[in-house]
Chain A
Amino acid sequence: MDFEFDDIQIEMQDAARQFALKRLKPLVAKMDEESHYETSLIKELAELGFFGILVPEEMGGIGIDSLSYVLIIEELSKVCPSTSVMLSVHNSLLNEMLMQMGTDDQKKRFLKKAAEGKIIGAFAITEPEAGSDAAGTKTKAVLDGDNYIINGTKTFITNANIADVFIIFTTTKPEAKTKGITAFFVEKETKGFSLGKKEEKMGLRASSTMELVFIDAVVPVTNRIGNENEGFKYAMKLLDGGRIGIAAQALGIAEAAFDEAIKYSKERKQFGKAICEFQAIQWMLADMATDIEAARNIVYKAAWMKDKGMPYSREASMAKLYASEMSNRVVNKALQIHGGYGYVKEFPIERIYRDQKITQLYEGTSEIQRMVIARSLLNPNR
């Protein structure tokens, strides 16, 4: 057993930390306030290679392992979770789908550009009436010659306003539920496809979350992902990797909250001493640090298992569940330590607290993770 990072993992973590501190930190409060992501940051992230982390070098990416990827997402999340979700969706959903399922033609058209950040990806499964029940999708695709005609609405889609290629899930056989889902790469300029309303969110405000509207949208058969009616399987496989990314995001958010709590508890004086001298505060800090450490281990291990080629679906769900619930406990204590000052915008913990909540909701709520874990425990051979 070995708990040390290798040289490359350390270098990658350092690159992300530098970007976070030098580029994101000065802008994060403003981007949150204005609910807008700085375009120049996207360009720089692309130039530095952050859009092709897991894609092999010969396909235009960086080609590093999942543990390095987790360290990058964690570092960026300490400062700006809106940046890490943008990259998480792009790297672990668009790029991975292209690598796992893309035809030669699809790879040629999208992969190199995606790895270089020249095109950006989004992943759309959720609908107004199909959230946790992702197979309940109502968006319909009907084959018509060389094209599919698609009708329906996707909701809560991250990266919608910056994406060039959208992975969307439709039903091609409604009565078959999970066995009737078909996935597509939909390009931004597709006829009949448009963006709908933008959500006003409590947190993660610099990341855009929007509706996608399909009205007789014409998508060529050549953009279909894999086989007809097998899309659900592909989605579930991808989301295992995605969940490790969100777990890393939750971890980074908790670490940021913890750092703020330590700093504030040393500065703030009441009853003639720094509040960190009170045992009540020390116990909170000790519990937070222990909770973070436990999550760090489970998240890194899930990534390590993926790198080793071991089955990691259950561990990915455990990592996502534990890290997101842990980060909720940690931000809550960190804000408590700030007292009333934690409730006002002058202190970063106010934003961190708001940003944290999403990690328990997207890419499967905590309840859904428990369902996945329980299912794998009760039917280990499925």
Chain B
Amino acid sequence: MHIIVPIKQVPDPESGAATIDPETGTLRREGASIVNPFDMNAIEEALRIKERIPDVTTTVITMGPPQADKALRLALAMGIDNAYLICDAAFAGSDTWATGYSLSSAIRYIGNFDLVICGKQAIDGDTAQVGPGIAAMLGIPHISSVRKIEEIGNDKIVVERLMEDGYDVLSMDIPCLITVVKEINEPRLESLKGKLRAKKAEIPTLKADDLNLSRDDIGQNGSPTKVIRIFTPPKREGGEILKGEVEEVVPALAQKLLELKIF
């Protein structure tokens, strides 16, 4: 079985790196970065499947700038077998559609895949669209927000999908894609041996031409999403506090709720 895990490098929220440039309206990315936390769960789950059933190979891919190499090496240090960096100026400015398209093309190029595991969403864009997008473009079924893999064999996977009010148990034919939530596992740390291996590993770079992609379909050109404006939401001002006796405050509150059409 071959498992492919697409991962994304995101700004580290704890380093205060994720700010928006007021001039250009784009995300500043020069600060510290981490692997998207949900993708860490995806890597961990791939490794657990490898420990659970025989003959599993695991591969991570990321589309990003040359520095995204660091994210791939982290996955290798955790125990992933292979890594590819999808890196080309032509990919710059991709929205979720173009990203899904480029990643699905890379997955086809690498080939022989049985299972694709994505994080539920990236904590910077927060769209949760890329995982399902990849599945659609590969023409394989997918289940999102998986919190547990109950069974996995060569032709079928049975998973629990997290719902607001509980969970669904669903079965799906392989090849397929799942996206995972943080409840699924606790990612392992990089081992000393893994770090040594990752340091030495050769990571091939895939360019747009390697994947035979037309410039019209990728990057900014291939992105139908038009961003009108990005801004930091204004700090919320303190709400109104109703003071006084219960007899006065409760009717006043009810009146407000009615005025605001909350009921």
Which residue in chain A gives the minimum CB-CB distance to B186? A22
Which residue in chain A gives the minimum CB-CB distance to B190? A15
A281 within 8 Å of B by Cβ? no
Of B188, B190, B193, B199, which one neighbours A62 at CB under 8 angstroms? B193
**How distant is B96 from chain A, measured CB to nearest CB, in Å?**
31
Could you tell me the distance between the alpha carbons of A48 and B191 in the complex, rounded to whole angstroms? Answer: 4
Binary interface encoding of chain A residues 13-55 relative to chain B, with 1 for a CB under 8 A from any of its CBs, else 0 = 0110011001100000000000000000000100111100100
B182 within 8 Å of A by Cβ? no
**How distant is A50 from chain B, measured CB to nearest CB, in Å?**
7
A-contacting residues, B84-138, CB 8 Å: none
Tell me if A48 and B192 are in contact (CB < 8 A).
Answer: yes
Tell me if A23 and B192 are in contact (CB < 8 A).
Answer: no
Of A7, A22, A44, A53, which one neighbours B192 at CB under 8 angstroms? A53
Of A8, A19, A44, A47, which one neighbours B199 at CB under 8 angstroms? A8
Tell me if A23 and B189 are in contact (CB < 8 A).
Answer: yes
Binary interface encoding of chain A residues 242-272 relative to chain B, with 1 for a CB under 8 A from any of its CBs, else 0 = 0000000000000000000000000000000
- Report chain A residues within 8 Å CB of B189: 15, 18-19, 22-23, 44, 48
Could you tell me the distance between the alpha carbons of A338 and B173 in the complex, rounded to whole angstroms? Answer: 62
- Report chain B residues within 8 Å CB of A57: 193
- Report chain B residues within 8 Å CB of A19: 189
- Report chain B residues within 8 Å CB of A47: 188, 191
A80 within 8 Å of B by Cβ? no
Tell me if A18 and B192 are in contact (CB < 8 A).
Answer: no
- Report chain B residues within 8 Å CB of A8: 196, 199
A305 within 8 Å of B by Cβ? no
B195 within 8 Å of A by Cβ? yes
A129 within 8 Å of B by Cβ? no
- Report chain B residues within 8 Å CB of A44: 189
**How distant is A64 from chain B, measured CB to nearest CB, in Å?**
7
**How distant is A181 from chain B, measured CB to nearest CB, in Å?**
34
- Report chain A residues within 8 Å CB of B199: 7-8, 11
- Report chain A residues within 8 Å CB of B190: 14-15, 18, 48
A167 within 8 Å of B by Cβ? no
A12 within 8 Å of B by Cβ? yes
Of A11, A22, A48, which one neighbours B196 at CB under 8 angstroms? A11
Which residue in chain B gives the minimum CB-CB distance to A50? B192
Could you tell me the distance between the alpha carbons of A14 and B192 in the complex, rounded to whole angstroms? Answer: 10
**How distant is B259 from chain A, measured CB to nearest CB, in Å?**
44
Known: A7-B199, A8-B199, A11-B199. A64 touches B191 (CB 8 A): no
Binary interface encoding of chain B residues 32-44 relative to chain A, with 1 for a CB under 8 A from any of its CBs, else 0 = 0000000000000
A-contacting residues, B165-201, CB 8 Å: 188-193, 195-196, 199
Could you tell me the distance between the alpha carbons of A18 and B190 in the complex, rounded to whole angstroms? Answer: 8
Could you tell me the distance between the alpha carbons of A23 and B188 in the complex, rounded to whole angstroms? Answer: 11
Binary interface encoding of chain B residues 186-219 relative to chain A, with 1 for a CB under 8 A from any of its CBs, else 0 = 0011111101100100000000000000000000
Which residue in chain B gives the minimum CB-CB distance to A11? B195
Which residue in chain A gives the minimum CB-CB distance to B193? A49
Which residue in chain A gives the minimum CB-CB distance to B195? A11
Which residue, A15, A22, A62, A64, has most C-beta atoms of chain B within 10 A?
A15
- Report chain A residues within 8 Å CB of B192: 12, 15, 48-50, 53, 62, 64
- Report chain B residues within 8 Å CB of A23: 189
- Report chain B residues within 8 Å CB of A49: 191-193
- Report chain A residues within 8 Å CB of B196: 8, 11, 62, 64
Could you tell me the distance between the alpha carbons of A22 and B187 in the complex, rounded to whole angstroms? Answer: 11
Could you tell me the distance between the alpha carbons of A135 and B188 in the complex, rounded to whole angstroms? Answer: 45
Could you tell me the distance between the alpha carbons of A50 and B189 in the complex, rounded to whole angstroms? Answer: 12
- Report chain A residues within 8 Å CB of B195: 11-12, 14-15
Could you tell me the distance between the alpha carbons of A50 and B195 in the complex, rounded to whole angstroms? Answer: 12
Could you tell me the distance between the alpha carbons of A8 and B191 in the complex, rounded to whole angstroms? Answer: 13
**How distant is B38 from chain A, measured CB to nearest CB, in Å?**
17
Could you tell me the distance between the alpha carbons of A172 and B229 in the complex, rounded to whole angstroms? Answer: 84
Could you tell me the distance between the alpha carbons of A47 and B193 in the complex, rounded to whole angstroms? Answer: 10
Which residue in chain B gives the minimum CB-CB distance to A22? B189
Could you tell me the distance between the alpha carbons of A47 and B199 in the complex, rounded to whole angstroms? Answer: 19
- Report chain A residues within 8 Å CB of B191: 15, 47-49
Which residue in chain A gives the minimum CB-CB distance to B198? A11
**How distant is A73 from chain B, measured CB to nearest CB, in Å?**
13
Which residue, B188, B189, B192, has most C-beta atoms of chain A within 10 A?
B192
Could you tell me the distance between the alpha carbons of A192 and B193 in the complex, rounded to whole angstroms? Answer: 39
Which residue in chain A gives the minimum CB-CB distance to B187? A22
Which residue in chain B gives the minimum CB-CB distance to A12? B192
Could you tell me the distance between the alpha carbons of A49 and B195 in the complex, rounded to whole angstroms? Answer: 11
- Report chain B residues within 8 Å CB of A14: 190, 195
Could you tell me the distance between the alpha carbons of A49 and B188 in the complex, rounded to whole angstroms? Answer: 13
Seed contacts A11-B196, A22-B189, A49-B192; 18 additional CB < 8 Å A-B pairs: A7-B199, A8-B199, A11-B199, A12-B192, A14-B190, A14-B195, A15-B190, A15-B192, A19-B189, A23-B189, A44-B189, A47-B191, A48-B189, A48-B192, A49-B191, A49-B193, A50-B192, A62-B196
Between A and B, 18 residue pairs with Cβ closer than 8 Å are A7-B199, A8-B199, A14-B190, A15-B190, A18-B189, A19-B189, A22-B189, A44-B189, A47-B188, A47-B191, A48-B191, A48-B192, A49-B191, A53-B192, A62-B192, A62-B196, A64-B192, A64-B196
A-contacting residues of B (Cβ < 8 Å)? 188-193, 195-196, 199
- Pairs A-B, 7 closest by C-beta atoms: A49-B192, A48-B191, A11-B195, A62-B192, A49-B193, A49-B191, A18-B189
